[in-house]
Structure 1
Amino acid sequence: MAVLLTTLIWLQVKHFVADYVLQPEWMIGDKGNFRKPGAYVHAGIHAIATIPILLLSSMDAIWISAVASAEFLLHFLIDHLKAIYGHRQPHSIDTRSFWMLHGADQLAHHLTYSGILAAIIWHGALLSG
């Protein structure tokens, strides 16, 4: 139980740093365009930063690689969909619709972390069972 809570806390700290501290304007501006590198780099930062956090869970290298790869893909797709919708339906930062879209994006990312915790539990059950 302590491993799960510690993992969740570190994933949330990592999310804040990767989404708000380490994301310059060029990454933000590149989202929604498969031909530009920003969204790939951003999702890569998330996936790479997740790897040392997963080491806390005693997962083996194959599981860690699979979970980090899944996080890369999911993070990229969540951000891509938000960017596409945001470009088609622009919302000013002082509107309810902007904050609903931002909140939905953040919820999707945090539900990804619930999936990571489920993978840790599943991995542990496979090892013990």
Structure 2
Amino acid sequence: MGDVTGQILILLVLLQIKHMFADFYLQTPRMLSGRETYVHLGRAEHAGVHALGSMIVFVLMGTPVLLTLLIVAAEWIVHFHIDWAKARWSMCKQHTPSEAGYWRATGADQFGHQLTYLAMAWAWWMWAA
């Protein structure tokens, strides 16, 4: 395995650890309620927790400051909108965890976040590796 390949795998693992904590352990009641509203402080804070976690990951990876700031700003914007889209869909459909639609929405939400991490790793590879 090449040195860069190993670094990309480490980057992706660190982003997965960050994602697990930010999405499943660090959400507050304010972050979870009223998310279908576009302008939502809780969702902005939640996306900020993700951005801060990613900033730590990219600093640990030795990423240049400007690139780190650009990547995490883009992540904040994308994460905010992925979560808003899921919340709007869920509110309109009124799915509950006992319905398949709820889990499809959750799966689509998580898939969007995983694609974001692949794009972030690609940006790191292009300009920092």
Could you tell me the TM-score, scaled by structure 1's length?
0.91
The residue type equivalent to 1:98 in the other structure is Y
1:75 is the counterpart of 2:79? yes
* Paired residues, number: 125
* Greater than 4 Å deviation, 4+ residue runs: none
List alignment gaps of at least 5 residues for structure 1. none
Q: Distance in 1 between matches of 2:74 and 2:61?
A: 17
Indicate whether 1:47 and 2:34 are aligned.
Answer: no
**Offset at 1:24?**
2.0
Contact 1:3–1:56 at 8 Å: present in 2 too? no
Q: Which residue of 2 aligns with 1:61?
A: 65
1:1-129 to 2 correspondence within 5 Å?
A: 1-124=5-128
CA distance, structure 2, for counterparts of residue 56 and residue 5 of structure 1:
14
Q: CA RMSD in A?
A: 1.3
Q: Which runs of 5+ in 2 are unaligned?
A: none
Cα distance in 2 between the residues matched to 1:6 and 1:19:
20
Deviations 1:55-107 (A, max 9, x none): 23332110000000000000000000111111111111011111111000000
The sequence identity of aligned pairs, in percent, is 30
